[in-house]
Structure 1
Amino acid sequence: MKKILLFIASFLMLMLLCIYAFVFIQTRPLNKADDRDVRVEIPSGMSVTQISKLLKEEKLIKNARLFYFSVRFPALNSFLFFKEPASSGLVLKSGIYRLKPSMDFSEIQKELSSGQQEFIVISLPEGLTISKIAAILENNKICSAYDFISFCHDTSSDIFSDFKISGESLEGYLFPDTYYFTSGMSAQAAARIMVENFFEKIKEVDGLAEKSPSELFEILTLASIVEREYRIADEAPLIASVFKNRIRRNIGLYSCATVEYIITEIQGKPHPKRILLDDLKIDNPYNTYKWAGLTPGPISNPGLIALDAAANTPKTDYYFFQIADQGAGRHVFSTTFEQHKVNHNLYTKD
């Protein structure tokens, strides 16, 4: 009888060892020598079962069912990897991750539960509009262009009150910079990151952060026009001075950039190859050829050079500027219209 019991016990022990060996092998890296990155996207709401199958399809694990059980029952991980079980279990988070076939179950689960996901790097240059930024975000699968544009024009959202933003949109407040976004994030989150960056960056411009919301809005509107007009950094303050002098004398700014804004952003037409005489007659408050003073709001999202030029504008006697070197983007500045006509004749090419 003792021999039978001993045999049964030995058999059961052998079976347990075989099961343990099988499970242990199944949870080891698929290929210890394969250190390449595999991009894995875990959408929001994906179940552990679906995640397990996805990892198997991507050839990152050997056994999807075992992966599922090791997530659902932390004690199994403790038994297999000799680690303390998570007190509240494992929570796999949505996002985009870089995983390797050389990782075992424990390492993959640690990565997916960390939230340390892959970022999408986006560089937004100076002078873009809300719609152009929205298109870039959508093309990079960060958020819907429609959602982003809608949010940026929703003055009832908290972001307008939180930052005391004047105007009817976030145009101008989306600071041009390099950002690290994640796929599928909300339009609200993406916009807030840019706006928060704007209010942080303007601290670098002398006196700008201390301005009242209305003063900041006015400076921002001027900066957005300067941004679309200057090409050489040291000319931005001079262009700003021309515009301020014209505003004081109630003279139209005559900025082609404002007409382009009407055509592309308000009328929704393609960017014109050139501004025509008929375009200068468009009856719209953003048309600085038809109306004197600043536009009702920003026409672009300016960078620090344009913001500093608009906030700390030098005093000059200039009322006109004319392109002098198309290739280099250099302008010539003049005080009188007679000088401007001479410059125009000198530098205008057929």
Structure 2
Amino acid sequence: MTPKKIISIAAIAIISGLIIYGFVLISQIFSSNTKFFEDEVYVHVPTDATYQQVLDSMAVYVTNVDRFEMVANKMNYPENVKSGRFLLTKGMNSYELVKSMRSNVPVKLAFNNQERVENLAGRVGSQIEADSVSLLNAFKDSVFLKENGFTEENVLAMFIPNTYEVYWNTSAVKFRDKMIKEYRNFWNEERVSKAKKQGFTAVEATVLASIVHKESVKKDERPRIAGVYLNRLRLGMPLQADPTVIYAKKKNDNDFNQVIKRVFYNDLFLNSPYNTYKVVGLPPGPIAMPDITALEAVLNPEKHDFIYFCASVDRFGYHEFAATLQEHNVNAKKYSNWINAQGVKR
């Protein structure tokens, strides 16, 4: 065999080897490398996580970690680890997996109906990386409160119940700052003007809305209830709102997990700035997080002469309204008889 033939054969062997290696390499890169059964899963990479931490997390989801790591090295991923929430779909290959780990996917964060800012911090903390302690510290930061016209008692008014798009790795401070922007967007010139016509600031309107929200789950009734409270305020009457008494009891007991279905006569004398049977005017802060319908009810109340209302026994969830105490006493007696018959003790 001539030297030329030997060189040709060697060259062919090398080329064949390279082709085979290339085919193997490509098959490793572009063949499926997932082992989860769901259609999609999310991987959460904490802030300042190392590449090794990512590998440890990915081991749960990939069939061949070495193959993933080989592709990751070729794509310079180890030097460019990102924190956040990343979507993996069933059947992804190693190239797609690494690419996905570079695309932070937002969270649809939702909250509503929280009684206290502490509850809100827990609710938000369950949906993003920031924990409830760091969130609560950010919400109650004294400098932030002073700069934005809030107090620890009324800062819950800043949060407008909704669904927001945020990144999972959003810090507590950045989340808080997003919420103050959303608050300012909601309280536009038109809404601020409507609140002013009722004699309120945005925060004061939110405090009253929180009472309206707690008084009725029937959204179509809330403007009428708001009208009652506004009538009382104009007359210099106490609001005499049962939900404020319930809140005061929970706060005094330092137990917001208790369920209180009934307010008794002795409860009306409870010493608390939240007890609107004893204190004239608004309590120092919201007793809950009012939804937008309750806020709009305060800004657009029904105009009427009603001063009193109590729960209806004929229309569950609704109330009976009265312009005189005599009318109200008839309605109240009917309700009292009904609730006693139900055996409600607390």
Bin for the TM-score computed over the shorter chain: 0.7 to 0.9
Q: CA shift at 1:114, angstroms?
A: 2.5
Per the alignment, residue 186 of structure 1 pairs with: 171
Task: Provide the C-alpha distance between the structure 2 equivalents of 1:258 and 1:35, rounded to a whole number of angstroms.
Answer: 47
The structure 2 residue matched to 1:263, chosen from 249, 257, 272, is 249
Q: CA shift at 1:174, angstroms?
A: 0.8
Alignment map for 1:116-265 (pairs within 5 Å): 117=105, 119=107, 121-126=108-113, 128-140=115-127, 142-157=129-144, 161=147, 164-168=148-152, 169-203=154-188, 206=191, 208=193, 215-265=201-251
Contact 1:174 1:191 in 2 (8 A): no
Give RMSD over aligned pairs: 3.5
Per the alignment, residue 343 of structure 2 pairs with: none
Task: Provide the C-alpha distance between the structure 2 equivalents of 1:199 and 1:325, rounded to a whole number of angstroms.
Answer: 41
Alignment map for 1:8-27 (pairs within 5 Å): 12-27=14-29
| Residue identity (%) | 25
Letter in 1 for 2:236: N
Per the alignment, residue 82 of structure 2 pairs with: 93
Contact 1:172 1:299 in 2 (8 A): no
Task: Specify the SS of the correspondent of 1:263.
Answer: helix
Q: CA shift at 1:293, angstroms?
A: 0.9
Contact 1:123 1:179 in 2 (8 A): yes
Aligned CA distance change for structure 1 residues 183 and 166 (closer, same or farther; 3 Å): closer
Q: CA shift at 1:322, angstroms?
A: 1.0
Per the alignment, residue 111 of structure 1 pairs with: 100
Letter in 1 for 2:223: P
Q: TM-score, normalised by structure 2?
A: 0.79
Contact 1:173 1:194 in 2 (8 A): yes
Task: Specify the SS of the correspondent of 1:257.
Answer: helix
Task: Specify the SS of the correspondent of 1:325.
Answer: coil
Task: Provide the C-alpha distance between the structure 2 equivalents of 1:127 and 1:205, rounded to a whole number of angstroms.
Answer: 26
Q: TM-score, normalised by structure 1?
A: 0.78
The structure 2 residue matched to 1:317, chosen from 305, 309, 330, is 305
Q: CA shift at 1:321, angstroms?
A: 1.0
Task: Provide the C-alpha distance between the structure 2 equivalents of 1:6 and 1:321, rounded to a whole number of angstroms.
Answer: 101
Task: Specify the SS of the correspondent of 1:72.
Answer: coil
Equivalenced residues, count: 330
Instruction: Tell whether 2:70 aligns with 1:66.
Output: yes
The structure 1 residue matched to 2:32, chosen from 14, 30, 42, is 30
Task: Provide the C-alpha distance between the structure 2 equivalents of 1:281 and 1:32, rounded to a whole number of angstroms.
Answer: 64
Letter in 2 for 1:69: N
Letter in 1 for 2:98: Q
Aligned CA distance change for structure 1 residues 160 and 2 (closer, same or farther; 3 Å): farther
Letter in 1 for 2:160: F
Task: Provide the C-alpha distance between the structure 2 equivalents of 1:209 and 1:144, rounded to a whole number of angstroms.
Answer: 37
Aligned CA distance change for structure 1 residues 178 and 325 (closer, same or farther; 3 Å): farther
Q: CA shift at 1:344, angstroms?
A: 0.9
Q: CA shift at 1:292, angstroms?
A: 0.9
Letter in 2 for 1:165: G
Task: Specify the SS of the correspondent of 1:298.
Answer: coil
Q: CA shift at 1:306, angstroms?
A: 1.8
Q: CA shift at 1:323, angstroms?
A: 1.0
Task: Provide the C-alpha distance between the structure 2 equivalents of 1:255 and 1:123, rounded to a whole number of angstroms.
Answer: 28
Structure 1, 258-267 or 247-256: larger mean CA deviation: 258-267
Q: CA shift at 1:281, angstroms?
A: 2.4
- 1:211-238 deviation digits (Å, cap 9, x = unpaired): 5997222222212211111232232222
- 1:43-98 deviation digits (Å, cap 9, x = unpaired): 2223334434543442255614413321328xxxxxxxxxxxxxxx9734222222
Q: Which runs of 5+ in 2 are unaligned?
A: 341-346
